[in-house]
């Protein structure tokens, strides 16, 4: 049984993702597609549009066979930790291959870039650190560093999916996984586009903007698979709103106003005195957008500030993040179909960490973060919505999903 | 110019308060009535129904000549600190007398009770501490201790206003103020009544319950002065809601869910492992009322838990409370009439602490607490309501109020 892993967010699942899954299956000849997916909060520091359960269900309905969770401590992170957590889980689940979407679409380029880095790792890291100290963004620092090593033409590291892919490849090499790597070129739409590029492909960013503006999945019907559309519609009906920073802003503002500078400094990723800036902006701003604009500087990317805000919202401290291991200490199952279940059954005894069907506090400090993320994600919901979500989170087994889209 | 001080909350100002002010003026022959009033959060751990500015205005319109603020660090406290802060401010403002409402109405009884205590202070305090360790409430422990000293018939220390009065008298004796003490018997309604006793007198508790239930001052028109009625109506029109725990519950719950047990233990008044109980109840409860019922035990009075919750909401730590002096370090003016202004002008140079017309962060750690209380009190308001309140708080001089009710 050939298994291929993918690292995803599906926020929400769209036609580009469908293309990626289909190509991953075709290119690798996979029988089983395993997706490791972030939970309630995203890599770029945003709450997920809909719960991880709905997104996991979308994933299986649209072609994945097994969906597991990337814990909060790896998901809400820069590309390096995000990638290393995802790759470690796919490796633990005995994947033969992994396959990612990229702007480049050429796996050889990634191999060469990683090899250049590995041969000059300390120099490369020094370049990146210096660049960021001088106030340029991480993507730019990364691209510049490769340039300085004379390999700037090898891979464009200023594109977001190339960066992620590069870090998957790097993590796989460092963790010595032996998984074979594949990449699929992203279809047409650029990740950061905010308007639909054509009739069937749009970026997740554009889709989210449209959904939040209209609060109606009808506007994005043409750019997502029908299963995704149906689930988004169901979620909206159940909870009355998509989740976005706007509905968490009152809590973030409250926390920024009530916390001392010292308390804010204890939060993961809050550095260099930005706590003063954050607190000031929270007092002056009336919504999340205007808050972000007040905090934003050349030195801090929008994403970096959002991630910081997510950690403030979830009260994730530097100490907590220090406590956890370099690799995930458990793998939580979210959803699967018959094939995923059979695969899991076959490989289970070889997985080096617990594979978890149901929430258990005994899994250590990492699961405490996931649990808090769930509690806080559920806060803006009505009593019913909240009860349902937390019941799903704490008391129910993974979703078993029927026939996928072919 | 004879000046008489009163210590008040006016949440809201009602006919009983009007009786108290008039009697205080008559009994003491006062030219000038000075009220020291709690700010945005009350002694019993509740947000004020309407802002301190509106309440200060009510006070002057209904007979006070000068209203100053009792800082958060003294206002949201057990009777002992509340009383000692209030008395210190009245003394600093050179009051010749002070006058409080009580169930007893007999100042001699207070004198005797204080004298019994002062002669047996360490024994008395040991009795109180032991009583509370054995799980009885503070009022009961206080009453029992006086009983054990053979003075139980002197003063009933289980009534809330007798307790406060007792602590005012005690503070005045300990601070050696030389102010003469007076007391006025409370009219008919018992403080804890929740239904109106007759047509013109009702307790503040009953009035608050009715206002929150009906969200309409018309229901309480007969039991408050017309100035108070007009101001409550104006406040409701401006902000759309009275302030009560219900509108702060989302923030309290968020904080309880996101904070670690250790962080909660750092909060003032959180003791004896109650942080575990608080956190559990916050996850399970859907509103403030059901939360309180889950936390409540025989050991903890409702008031004590509410006060604890106020400190959690405002993030007031043990460290912060330790830092401040035994007496207020500044006196903030809220409202006055011509007579209050003239009095202030005459005594100003004798006041041992700064008398503050406008907010200034340089006044030290205590004002930081007041400022945070204001910010957090304003959180549930609309943008306009919040802007107005904070503009009033940070940028405006005290209110000058015209002709009072005679």
The answer to whether A243 and A49 are in contact (CB under 8 A) is: yes
Phi, psi of A256 (to 5 degrees): -65, -35
The answer to whether A175 and A88 are in contact (CB under 8 A) is: yes
CA dihedral angle for residue A13, residue A19, residue A23, residue A24, rounded to 10 degrees: -10
Q: How many CB atoms lie under 10 A from the CB of residue A13?
A: 32
pLDDT in tens, B312-345: 999 999 999 987 767 889 999 999 999 999 999 9
B279 inside domain: yes
Q: What is the Cα–Cα distance from B170 to B115, expressed in whole angstroms?
A: 9
Q: What is the Cα–Cα distance from B356 to B370, expressed in whole angstroms?
A: 13
Per CB-CB distance under 8 Å, the chain B contacts of A251 are 250-251, 254
Q: Can you list the alpha helix ranges (DSSP code H) found in B259-287?
A: 261-265, 274-284
Residue A131 belongs to domain spanning? 120-158
The answer to whether B270 and B260 are in contact (CB under 8 A) is: no
Q: What is the Cα–Cα distance from A374 to A394, expressed in whole angstroms?
A: 10
**Minimum distance, in Å, between the CA of residue B259 and any CA atom of chain A:** 7
> What is the average pLDDT value for chain B, to the nearest integer?
92
Mean pLDDT of the B1-22 span: 96
Residues in chain A, pLDDT under 50: 191, 193, 406
B9 labelled ligand-binding? yes
ipTM: 0.92
Q: Which range among A198-202, B250-254, B269-273, B389-393 shows the weakest confidence by mean pLDDT?
A: A198-202
The CA angle A101-A102-A104, to the nearest 5 degrees, is 140
Query: 3-class SS at B299?
Result: coil
Q: What is the Cα–Cα distance from B177 to B166, expressed in whole angstroms?
A: 15
Q: What is the Cα–Cα distance from B260 to A146, expressed in whole angstroms?
A: 42
A296 inside domain: yes
With an 8 Å Cβ cutoff, are B251 and A253 in contact?
A: no
Q: What is the Cα–Cα distance from A324 to A248, expressed in whole angstroms?
A: 26
Q: Please state, for a pLDDT cut of 70, what percent of chain B lies above it.
A: 96
A402 inside domain: no
B239 inside domain: no
pLDDT of residue A191: 47
With an 8 Å Cβ cutoff, are B260 and A383 in contact?
A: no
Q: What is the Cα–Cα distance from B360 to B368, expressed in whole angstroms?
A: 9
Q: Tokens 């609309």 — which residue? A: B382
pLDDT of residue A381: 94
B153 inside domain: no
pLDDT of residue B272: 83
Mean pLDDT of the B49-77 span: 97
Q: Which of B47, B258, B259, B388 to mutate: most A Cβ within 10 Å?
A: B258
Q: What is the Cα–Cα distance from A159 to B364, expressed in whole angstroms?
A: 50
pLDDT in tens, B85-98: 999 999 999 999 99
Is residue A85 reached through a cis peptide bond, with omega within 30 degrees of 0 on the bond before it?
no
Choose between B215 and A31: higher pLDDT: A31
Per CB-CB distance under 8 Å, the chain B contacts of A283 are 375
The answer to whether A229 and A221 are in contact (CB under 8 A) is: yes
Closest CA to B36 of B341, B361, B335: B335
CA distances from A384 to A57, A249, A379, B248, B406 (A): 21, 21, 11, 20, 54
Which chain A residues touch B if contact means CB-CB below 8 Å? 250-251, 253-255, 257-260, 263, 283, 286, 313-315, 372, 375-376, 379, 383
Concatenating the DSSP letter of every residue in B86-142 gives: HHHHHHHTT-SEEEEEESS--HHHHHHHHHHHHHTHHHHHHHHHHHHHTT--HHHHH
Q: Tokens 């594979």 — which residue? A: A355
With an 8 Å Cβ cutoff, are B286 and A383 in contact?
A: yes
B274 inside domain: yes
How would residue B260 be classed by pLDDT, with cut points 50, 70 and 90?
very high
**A401 half-sphere exposure, CB direction, 13 A CA radius:** 27
B76 inside domain: no
A55 inside domain: no
pLDDT in tens, B129-184: 888 888 787 778 888 888 888 887 888 888 889 999 999 999 999 999 989 999 99
Phi, psi of A293 (to 5 degrees): -65, -35
In the predicted structure, residue B404 carries a pLDDT above the cut 60: no
The CA angle B292-B297-B300, to the nearest 5 degrees, is 85
Give the number of domains in chain A: 2
């Amino acid at each position: 049984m050939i298994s291929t892993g993918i690292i995803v967010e599906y926020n929400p699942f769209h036609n580009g993702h469908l293309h990626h899954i289909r190509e991953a299956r075709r290119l690798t000849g996979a029988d089983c597609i395993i997706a490791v997916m972030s939970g309630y909060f995203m890599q770029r520091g945003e709450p997920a549009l809909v719960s991880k359960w709905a997104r996991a269900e979308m994933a299986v309905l649209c072609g994945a066979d097994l969906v597991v969770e990337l814990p909060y401590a790896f998901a809400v992170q820069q590309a390096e930790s995000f990638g290393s957590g995802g790759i470690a889980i796919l490796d633990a689940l005995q994947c033969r291959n992994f396959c990612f979407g990229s702007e480049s679409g050429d796996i050889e380029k990634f191999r060469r870039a990683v090899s250049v880095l590995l041969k000059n790792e300390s120099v490369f890291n020094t370049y990146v650190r210096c660049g960021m100290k001088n106030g340029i963004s991480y993507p730019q620092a990364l691209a510049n560093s490769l340039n300085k090593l004379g390999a700037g033409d090898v891979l464009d590291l200023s594109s977001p999916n190339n960066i992620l892919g590069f870090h998957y490849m790097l993590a796989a090499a460092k963790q010595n996984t032996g998984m074979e790597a594949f990449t699929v070129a992203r279809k047409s739409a650029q990740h950061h586009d905010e308007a639909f590029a054509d009739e069937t492909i749009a970026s997740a960013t554009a889709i989210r903007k449209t959904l939040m503006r209209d609060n109606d999945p009808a506007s994005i019907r043409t750019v997502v698979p029908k299963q995704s559309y149906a689930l988004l519609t169901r979620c909206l009906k159940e909870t009355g709103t998509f989740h976005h920073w706007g509905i968490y802003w009152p809590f973030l503002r409250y926390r920024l106003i009530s916390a001392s500078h010292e308390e804010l400094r204890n939060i993961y990723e809050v550095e260099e005195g930005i706590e003063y800036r954050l607190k000031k902006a929270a007092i002056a701003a009336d919504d999340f957008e205007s808050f972000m604009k007040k905090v934003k500087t050349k030195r801090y990317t929008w994403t970096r500030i959002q991630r910081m805000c997510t950690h403030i919202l979830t009260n994730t401290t530097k100490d907590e993040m220090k406590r956890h291991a370099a690799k995930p200490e458990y793998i939580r199952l979210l959803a699967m179909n018959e094939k995923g279940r059979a695969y899991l059954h076959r490989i289970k005894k070889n997985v080096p960490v617990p594979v978890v069907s149901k929430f258990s506090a005994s899994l250590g400090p990492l699961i405490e973060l996931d649990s808090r993320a769930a509690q806080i994600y559920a806060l803006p919901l009505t009593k019913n919505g909240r009860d349902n979500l937390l019941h799903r989170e704490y008391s129910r087994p993974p979703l078993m999903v029927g026939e996928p889209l072919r």
